Amino acid sequence: MSELSRRAVLVSGLAVSGLAAIGPSSAATPRGRATDAPAPWGATPSARQIAWHERTQYAFIHFSINTFTDREWGYGDERPNLFDPTDFSADQIVGAAKAGGLRGIVLTAKHHDGFCLWPTTLTEHCIRNSPFRQGKGDIVREFEQACRRAGLAFGLYLSPWDRNHADYGKPAYIDYYRKQVVELCTRYGTLFEFWFDGANGGDGYYGGARETRKIDAEAYYDWPSIVALVHQHQPMACTFEPLGTDIRWVGNEDGVAGDPCWPTMPDHKPSQAEGNGGLRNGPLWWPAETNTSIRPGWFYHADEDSRVKSPQRLVRLYDESVARGTNLILNLPPDRRGRLADPDVAVLRSFGRAQRATFAKDLANGAVASADHERGPPFAAAKVLDGNPASYWSTPDDVHTPQLVLDLPPGRRFDLIRIRERLLLGARVTRFAIDLDTGAGWQEAATGACIAAQRVLRLPAPVTARRLRLRITEAPACPAISEIALFLQVAPADVPLPTRADDLWPATAWSIESATAPGTAALSDDDTATVWRVAVRGGAATASVTLRLASTARLGGFVLIPSRAVMTDAAPPKGYRAETSLDGRSWTAVGADEFSNIANALTPQRIVFPGRPSARYVRLTFVGLAAPAATMAIAGLQLLR
């Protein structure tokens, strides 16, 4: 039989196409009115959440005073004249993001140090008092205009914590913060996202007070009123993070969503684990945004040029975030010129080319779809192939676990399977399976939980199949599947990165002389799965370790490596004191500070000693916990040359 005549038979319903084994179609005898759409099930997204889901991936831009102080978190006492990019180009940064397939930009208009990248009159701690554009610059404006030129969406980050402002922690600061929100929401056109960071309260400059200020974030900010203020001026801007916003944190800064990662959540402030996986049947539609940086840090550091994520790692990052139905916000930190560094640009171009080539052609085009049940002609199986996100295949209300078969044209080779639900009707499918027939009958190829916005399943290797079957194996309601698409991954080109100088002393060059608690072998075994733990006693979180070098040498500093494991009973240290000695008896202080964003980022903390002092011993005292816990946990230590 020719291909044309075989397909004609399939369409007429006279051929089997794998459905005889799973029962007759109910399309001929639908239960209920065939033109009635199924009722929504469970929580459903708002119009702005629907628009947000469609963006899938976009860029975060961390660029501020920290770029020029080589820090992750500024203290708030930095002079505005430090901000002086030598060759700033928002177009270069936005262009690189677009080349990487990112569909928008979220700019940090103000980070925790309080420095404002727009010429606000609400504070002197802003770009007006910097040398940039002779004090007449507006970084927010330049990014906004570059995004419009490039056809990218624009969003803003405004840190609620302000380590510069004298009134932080008092009612007057909330008035100031709300005025900042209004300025940003009314001066820079349409925003697609407005980001509130979860880091709030702690040590700061605070107008010269130099003290620690603790707050109850929910009570202090009155988040519902601030969210309403954003939506008053920007009704389509999705707000991020606190309970009551449109999108939630995924629970880590590695860019890894849970599998599954439900878009529904409980109606309470979530734990990190809840944020990572969501809650099936949760009453809130509160989808996750996965955030991570293309580099280890959020701000640019020259010594990280060799540690930019490879294009291949970005493909895996896609699998761990976008492919699990979340949106990815990938941080791209500009350097002191005010541009993205060459390694970052090269990686983005390679990744973007590969992904565009991968998803350029839906290999399910030309297939014939049939199902064991159909709700009626408006909801036929063929709707999964029509490219219209508003149309979908569905079944009668009482059929929750149907099957759909795609009869594929010959020679279709693929390794990615994308499935989408009609989001306006809720997250209806709980579990599903994919079977393939490559010529020897049906074989199960993949299973999964949660489809929602999309699931992209990656097969272990490309296959050439004649038929694909979607089986809904568990669902509380009839399905509403809007798409089944097939693709073949195009491998990204390799990008050579700068060679990293070997600036670490080998672990064999030093030993642990003494420590507060046993188990210090974990600090030098180069295994982040092993952890040195120190119990917090009497409310005092302090731990100390003394390292001894094989001989006197100049020390560049140290690296603390926190554990990346999710631990409810332990946390990394908040800050440190460092001392060196030539003889182990007389000690000289060489540094004391906090670890920047260690609780959430869990990234290695690189601490540089000014002047590279000569030493035989180094004593590190870790003070405080970055999060409430009963135990301090450190996965490793390294010494810098």
Q: What is the mean pLDDT of residues 535-539?
A: 79
Tell me what pLDDT residue 182 has.
98
Q: How far apart are CA 27 and CA 34, in angstroms?
A: 8
* Residue pLDDT, tens place only, 416-458: 999 999 999 999 999 999 999 999 999 999 999 999 999 999 9
Q: Please tell me the predicted confidence (pLDDT) of residue 34.
A: 62
**pLDDT tens across 131-165, in order?**
999 999 999 999 999 999 999 999 999 999 999 99
Q: Where in the chain is the domain with CATH 3.20.20.80?
A: 47-356
Q: How far apart are CA 576 and CA 549, in angstroms?
A: 20
DSSP secondary structure letters along 210-238: -EEE---HHHHHTHHHHHHHHHHH-TTPE
Task: Give the DSSP letter string of 472-518.
Answer: EEE-SS--EEEEEEEE-PPPPPP-PPPPPP--B--GGGEEEEEESSS
Arithmetic mean of pLDDT, 381-400: 97
Q: Which residue has the tokens 């990014």?
A: 143
Range in 29-43, 388-402, 587-601 with the lowest mean pLDDT: 29-43
Contact assessment for residue 248 and residue 275, using Cβ atoms and an 8 Å cutoff:
yes
Predicted local confidence at residue 456, as pLDDT: 98
The total of other beta-carbon atoms located within 10 Å of residue 127's CB is 23
Residue 576 has pLDDT above 90, yes or no: yes
CATH 2.60.120.260 fits 507-640, yes or no: yes
| Average pLDDT score over residue span 475-497 | 98
How far is residue 537's CA from residue 524's CA, in Å, rounded to a whole number?
Answer: 25
Query: What pLDDT shows up at residue 21?
Result: 36
Closest alpha carbon to 366 in 410, 319, 399, 422:
410
pLDDT score, position 492? 98
So what's the pLDDT on residue 499?
82
Q: Is the peptide bond before 260 cis (omega within 30 degrees of 0)?
A: yes
281's tokens:
């049947």
Q: Are 530 and 522 in contact (CB under 8 A)?
A: yes
- In DSSP notation, 63-77 reads -SHHHHHT-SS--S-
Half-sphere exposure of 183 (CA within 13 A, CB side): 21
Percent of the chain with pLDDT over 90: 83
Q: What is the pLDDT of residue 567?
A: 65
Which one-letter amino acid corresponds to residue 217? A
pLDDT for the residue numbered 19: 39
Strands 442-449, 431-437: pairing is antiparallel
- Residue 496, pLDDT above cutoff 60: yes
Query: Which pair of structure tokens corresponds to residue 460?
Result: 């272990």
Dihedral angle at the C-alpha atoms of 302, 306, 308, 314, nearest 10 degrees?
A: 170
The mean per-residue pLDDT over the stretch 502-508 comes to 85
Cα radius of gyration rounded to whole Å, the chain: 27
Looking up tokens 């961390």 gives: 62
Closest CA to 76 of 210, 215, 204, 166: 204
Mean pLDDT of 461-478: 98
DSSP lists the bridge partners of residue 467 as 407, 437
> What residue has token string 């390799």?
494
Which of 25-39, 88-102, 194-208, 384-398 is least confident?
A: 25-39
For residue 5, pLDDT over 60 is answered with no
Nearest Cα residue to 446 out of 424, 475, 468, 429 = 468
**So what's the pLDDT on residue 30?**
44
Q: Is 520 helix (H, G, I), strand (E, B) or coil?
A: helix
Cα separation, 142 vs 188, whole angstroms: 10
End-to-end CA distance of the chain: 74
Question: Where does 359-497 sit in CATH, by number?
Answer: 2.60.120.260
For residue 9, is pLDDT > 90?
Answer: no
By CB neighbour count within 10 A (0-12 exposed, 13-18 middle, 19+ buried), where does 45 fall? buried
Q: Which residues contact 503 (CB under 8 A, 6 or more apart)?
A: 303, 556, 640, 641
Superfamily of domain 47-356, CATH level 4: Glycosidases (3.20.20.80)
What is the structure's pLDDT at 10? 34
* Angle at alpha carbon of residue 483, lines to 477 and 485, rounded to 5°: 135
Tens digit of each residue's pLDDT (9 = 90 or more) over 58-109: 999 999 999 998 888 899 999 999 999 999 999 999 999 999 999 999 999 9
Place 596 in a pLDDT band, splitting at 50, 70 and 90. Answer: confident
- One-letter amino acid identity for 350? S
Provide the token pair at 524. 């030098």
Q: What is the DSSP string of 324-355?
A: GTPEEEEE----TTSS--HHHHHHHHHHHHHH
The label of the residue with tokens 């202090």 reads 220
* Of the candidates 196, 202, 41, the residue with the CA atom closest to the CA atom of residue 106: 196
Mean pLDDT of 495-511: 86
In terms of pLDDT, which residue wins out, 45 or 562?
Answer: 45
> Which residues belong to CATH 2.60.120.260 in the chain?
359-497, 507-640
| DSSP-derived 3-state class of residue 52 | helix
pLDDT, position 217 = 93
* Three-class secondary structure assignment of 572-598: CEEEEEEEEECCCCCCEEEEEEECCCH
Q: Comparing 26-35, 474-483, 537-546, which segment has the lowest mean pLDDT?
A: 26-35
Quote the pLDDT of residue 501.
63
Which pLDDT belongs to residue 627? Answer: 84
Better-scored residue on pLDDT, 198 or 250: 250
Other Cβ atoms less than 10 A from the Cβ of 146: the count is 21
Asked if pLDDT for residue 4 goes beyond 50, the answer is no
pLDDT band at 28 (very low <50, low <70, confident <90, very high): very low
Lowest mean pLDDT among 505-509, 534-538, 580-584: 534-538
- Measured CA distances, 633 to 369, 391, 517, 620 (Å): 54, 51, 11, 14
What's the DSSP call for residue 507?
G
Average pLDDT, the chain: 92
- Convert the pLDDT of each residue in 601-617 to its tens digit: 677 888 989 999 999 99
The distance of Cα 80 from the centroid of its chain, to the nearest Å, equals 30
